[in-house]
Structures are given as structure tokens and as C-alpha cells.
Structure 1
Amino acid sequence: MNAGSGDRDADSREQVIAQVLSRAGRTFTLWRVGKSTGIADTAREAVRLARQQEGIVVAAGGDGTINTVAQEVLGTGCPFGVLPQGTFNYFGRSHGIPLDTAEAVETLVRGRLRLVQVGLVNDKVFLVNGSVGLYPRILEKREAHKQIFGRTRLVALLSALVTMLTPPPQLVLTLHGGDNPSMLHISTLLVENNPLQLEEVGLHESDAVQKGELAAVAVKAKGVWQMLGGLALAAMRRLRDSEKVVSFPFVQLTVRPLRRRRIKVATDGEVNWQVPPLVFKAVPHGLLLIVPDHEGEGKGEP
């Protein structure tokens, strides 16, 4: 559990988790991590114990925390559970997992297993999206503003708006996703693995995502007014109407930035440096996720 995720008291969340699991007669070990730098090491230990005891590994936190734990779970065969406790919680919401902590823990006890798709950029997992360009910069500024003003959606949105007032230089990318590579001059490239996020901005590729494909969203806007115009269309769920946005589904996409030895890449809100080329691809049955069992409600505990 990332004690720094969300805006609720970590002690209260921990108490709720313990109460629900104890009432259900489930044994568990809860690691409370105060800094994101310790999550990966703790997750590896959780995976080791889960494999020994035929248990499950659960991530409690925002999408970044869930991403870090999923990175360690991927390929181990361990069932994976999430307790969404972040700002936007796109991963949990897209799979119907309750945002209320007690209800989410009940899902761990009474839910069912579903194979869900994972995105990869080189060897780095993303469950919601991966990106280069302006978006990683927005995420870095957002984290700094959250530490000062609090972890709320309003702070996140205002932070993004302020950052967009001084957009970075354009990126020149060569995209190889088929027979004919294309070159784009963009401010940001977003690769989506989350249909909910695509639906919220009005892009039709939401139908393809999670069915063995990802969606690329390239924003070609230059300057403040074009960026704000795109933001307004996104808020109205009409981003598909923007002439400055190109979007398309794909299975695998290779991205080569012009004259860059390394580039910042954001994966589910966490920013890291990677060495090009960047290979984005879908792993259709990557994680065995515990989701609500609506069909089995009222039939008793499995």
C-alpha cells in the first residue's frame, strides 16, 4: 500500500483493509510504503511469498503504484488485485473495481479472475498509457504541484493547464507500424491502453483497445492557443474533431525520435528515461486480474 496515494488518511485505509480481510477469514501481509522508490522491492517480496503460498498480490494506491506492482507480477502467473486509491484511478474504474476501499477489498474476497491486456514500451509496463513529449512534462509538474497544494483532481487539472501555457519544443518522430513509416512533428505522443480515457476525450479507438490493440494519439498542436483549443475539444469529448490530432489503433509501433540518444517516457504517471527506439506493443492476456463477480452476487463466498 502506497501510504502517500490519494487524499484519505492512510491509517484509516489500512484499518479498513485489515477488518474486511480478517472478517472474511483471509490471512494476509500488508506492507505500507511511504515512498514510491520502495514499492518495486516490496512488490518483488510480495510476489515471492504469493508464489510460495498460492496467494495473490494486491496493489493499493494510484495508477502509478498499481503499475509498479504489475511490473513485478507480469509473467509470474500470480493473480493480481487492486485497491484504487489515487487521483483518477483509470485502471480500476475501467475494470469495474469500486473506489470505496471496503468494497474494493470485498471484490478481492468475492470476485472472479479475468485476463486483462497490458501495454509495453520496450520492457516497461503501462496499464493506462505511455507517452513522450509534453505529457511527461505535465506529469512531472503535476507531481510537484500536488506535493504543495494536495492530491486532488482540481490541482491536477490546473497544473496541466499552467504547464500547457509554456509548451516544449516540437518532437520529430518516425513511426514504424506497418509497411510505410511516417514522420510526424508533434508536441506529444500518447499510446493508450485504457478505453475509458479515450472515451472521455471522444476518440473512437476505444473500441479497439483491450482487444489485442493499443491506440496512438499524436498531438501536432503548436503554441498556446492551439493547445488550449485541443484541450477544450477534449473536455467536450470531441477531440476527434481536431485537425491537430492524429489517432489510430495498432498492435506494435516503433518510435524513433530524431537526433535523441535518450528520451523521457511516462508510463501511468511515472516518468523515466529510455533509449530509443521505443517499441510499443500490446500483451493481450498479460495479467490475471480479480474483478467484481456481478453474475455471482448473492450466491455466497467462493
Structure 2
Amino acid sequence: MMVFLSRPLKRIGQARERLSHRVLSLGKRRLRNRYSVLGEAPILDRRTLILYNPKAGSLKAQPTKNGVPSPEESATALHEAAKAVGLNATIEPTPPPEALRQRVLAAQAEGYEVVAAAGGDGTVRPIAQALIGTSLVLGVLPVGTDNNFAHSLGLPFSLPEAMQVLATAPVRRVDVGCIGEEYFLEAAGVGLFAQIISLFGPDGPHLFRFGRDWKLLLPLLLNPPARRLQLVLDGNTYAEEATMVSICNSIYLGARFAVAPDAKLDDGLFDVVMVGALSRWELLRFALALRFGNTLQLPKVTCLRAREVEISRVRYRQRPLPVHADDHIAAHTPVKIKVIPQALCVVAPDSTQSAP
């Protein structure tokens, strides 16, 4: 009897072994397809160029011998974090703005797949701008101060965890905003925020210039100016008296203010947040709402969605207003702002799993 059954049992065992081998191969193939850059290479074989800002907040906080990190010490911290997760990375300081596009094109020619920005939003945005139109993927190591874009992507903020995401997360496509030939990741707009940037630049007021800065800032806060604007959203015209209009591609702006709590990076739409004329007390209430992310509950705040937005003064001869794109002034009214859907590839958790 045992001899009779041995051959069928052997065949069953061989069939199970073949089936297990096929299941294992299929699992490996699915894992490789899920976590490869554009489906071409295993995750840890992603050839990555990390461009870092030595002055970024978290890199400055790395322990050093003399307490002031040199670029080499910052690079060592990044190299050790990349080595710990097995990431194939080259680490360089961020080149000057005029040389950034050339370095990105050289990286593409050299066979890199990912260019990662190690720094804050001021480091991420120009690198993202340089990557648009290439085959390269953006990575983000959020070691800066506010890290608005990284927050919207749902990235972790410790360097080891962020490096693990850079090595293992899938590639997402996200939208960018466009003013002329310039791209932005967070928001563009007119009004209060743009006026503050015009006065103080991207870094805002400084404590060591307290007297001079407050002399400029106080009139804006005591008597927040409202402008009569004409907005055209996807062909629909609105006339608004507004303290601020923000055309948001992502949730956060400035010092991690949740201007558009419901904005999504991959829906192909702007969240257009319009803030009406405010008294000084309403402005204070608005500032608190920005911090806690409930601006849309205020009676003088309206949010609409659109793919293309035009902003102009109601009267043609009125003085043009500055228009900011993220942290700098990019244009003046009249201006046309449009969304470019899925324009940027970025290494990040899936949007259904990430949380702001």
C-alpha cells in the first residue's frame, strides 16, 4: 500500500513545491514593481543624488566636535543615514541657483534616478523647479524649519525615518502651480502674505531688527488693507474686497500655517482661499485659526476650487499688487495662475495613507 501511494504523494509534493516557487516569484515580482522607481529597479538600487543645505535646521543640530557643523560633517550625517538603510546615494551641497539646473541635467545624464533635497522648503522648491521636465524623481529629507511640502506629503521628520522613506516608498505624481515659467509647490497669492514678503523677504521679520521691522509691520496689523479685486476662476468672474487671496496647491504656507486644510497635492485643482475685509480683531482671530487649521470656519473666509485663476485690480489704473509664489514675489497683477496636474514625481507614502 505504501509503495502504491508513494508515487502520487511524491508528485503532490513536487506540485506543491512548484506552486510555492511560483507564489514566491510572483510575490517578489509584485514587491519589485510596487517599490521600484518607475518599475525599473529594486528600491535599494535607486541611484540617488542628495543635495543638502548645510544651514538647514536639523543638520545644524547634528552633534559635532566644535559645535558648528561644517559641510563635511553635515554630509557625513547624511551618508551614515543613507548607509544604514542601504541606499545607493551620492551626497553634495546644493549648488548656487544659477548652477542648479545644469547639475540636475548632469545628474540625469549620469544615470541618477532620484534627486533628493535635504533642507527646508527653500531648498526643496528650487530643486523641484529644476526637475520638472526631466525623467528624475524628487526626494525630500525634511531637515529644515517649517517643511510645509513635506508635511503635506505625510513624510516623517527624523532623519533615519525620512531616509528609510526615500529608500523604500513608492513614487507619486503630484501637481504644481505655475506663474509664467515659474513653478510653486505650496501656494501663490496677493494681499497680506505677499505684502509681508515684499517688506521683509522670504525670512520674514527678524528679532535683531525688531524696531525697524515692527515700524513696517504694525500698520499692516492695526489696519489690515483690503483690496477690490477681480478674480476669474475657470471662466467664472468674481468681484471681491479681500485682505488676502491664496491659490493653494497644498495645505500649508509660511510658518506652517494651514491656509487650505482640505487641499490635496494630486487632485488637479487649486483650493482658492479668499479672506474678506478684516478688522484688527478679526485679523487676530484669523491668525489663531491659521495656527489651528480651522480658517474655513470663519464667516469671512471662502474656499473655491479651480484649475486656472486670474487676478487683477478692479480698476485698470490702480497700482499693481505683488504676487507671491511660495516664499518670494514672482509677479504683479494682473496675473494668471494655473495648475499643472501630475507634473512632478516624488518619493512619498501613498496619498491614501499619508496624513498632514
Sort the TM-score into its range (normalised by shorter chain).
0.7 to 0.9
- CA pair 60-261 structure 1, distance change in 2 beyond 3 A: farther
After superposition, residues 20-169 of structure 1 pair within 5 angstroms as: 20-22=81-83, 24=86, 26-32=88-94, 38=96, 40-55=97-112, 56-139=114-197, 141=200, 143-146=203-206, 148=208, 165-167=221-223, 169=225
Establish whether residue 253 from structure 1 lines up as the match of residue 309 from structure 2. yes
- Closer/same/farther in 2, CA of residues 230 and 143 from structure 1, 3 Å limit: same
The answer to whether the 8 A contact 2:261-2:293 is kept is: no
**Contact 1:116/1:287, CA 8 A, preserved across alignment:** yes
> Between the two proteins, what is the percent identity of the paired residues?
24
Alignment of 1:179-194 (within 5 A): 179-194=235-250
The alpha-carbon deviation at position 263 of structure 1 amounts to 3.5
TM-aligned CA deviation for residue 3 of structure 1: 2.7
* CA–CA distance in structure 1, aligned partners of residues 292 and 350 of structure 2: 33
> Residues 62 and 84 of structure 1 are in contact (CA less than 8 Å); yes or no, is this contact kept in structure 2?
yes
Residues 163/288 of structure 1: CA separation in 2 closer, same or farther (3 Å cut): farther
Shift of 1:146: 4.7
Residue 229 (structure 1) aligned to one of 285, 292, 309: 285
Confirm or deny: 8 A CA contact 2:78 2:91 kept in the other structure: no
1:153 aligns with none
Map residues 253-272 of structure 1 onto 2, 5 A cutoff: 253-257=309-313, 258=315, 259=317, 262-269=320-327, 271-272=328-329
Amino acid at match of 1:19: E
1:189-208 equivalences under 5 Å are 189-195=245-251, 201=258, 205-206=262-263
CA distance in 2, matches of 1:164, 1:13: 39
AA of the residue aligned to 2:283: M
Distance of 1:146 and 1:4 partners within structure 2: 17
Moved more, 58-67 or 188-197: 188-197
Tell whether the 8 Å contact from 1:215 to 1:248 is kept in structure 2 after alignment.
yes
> C-alpha displacement at 1:96, in angstroms?
2.3
What amino acid does structure 2 have at the position aligned with 1:173? L
**Structure 1 position 2 matched with structure 2 position 65:** no
Tell me the alpha carbon deviations over residues 11-34 of structure 1, each in whole angstroms, 9 at most, x when there is no partner.
45432212233553624141246x
Structure 1 residue 7: Cα displacement: 5.8
- Residue 106 of structure 1: how far off its partner (Å): 2.7
* C-alpha distance 145-202 of structure 1, shift in aligned 2 (>3 A): closer
**Aligned partner of 1:290 among 347, 350, 356:** 347
Q: How many residues align?
A: 277
Distance in 2, Cα, partners of 1:222 & 1:106: 45
The two structures have a TM-score, normalised by structure 1, of: 0.78
Residue 31 of structure 1 aligns with an amino acid whose one-letter code is P
Aligned-pair distance for 1:174? Answer: 0.9
> Unmatched 5+ residue regions in structure 1?
150-157, 295-302
- State the shift of 1:229 in Å: 2.4
Cα root mean square deviation, aligned: 3.2
State the TM-score, normalizing by the size of structure 2: 0.67
- Structure number with bigger Rg: 2
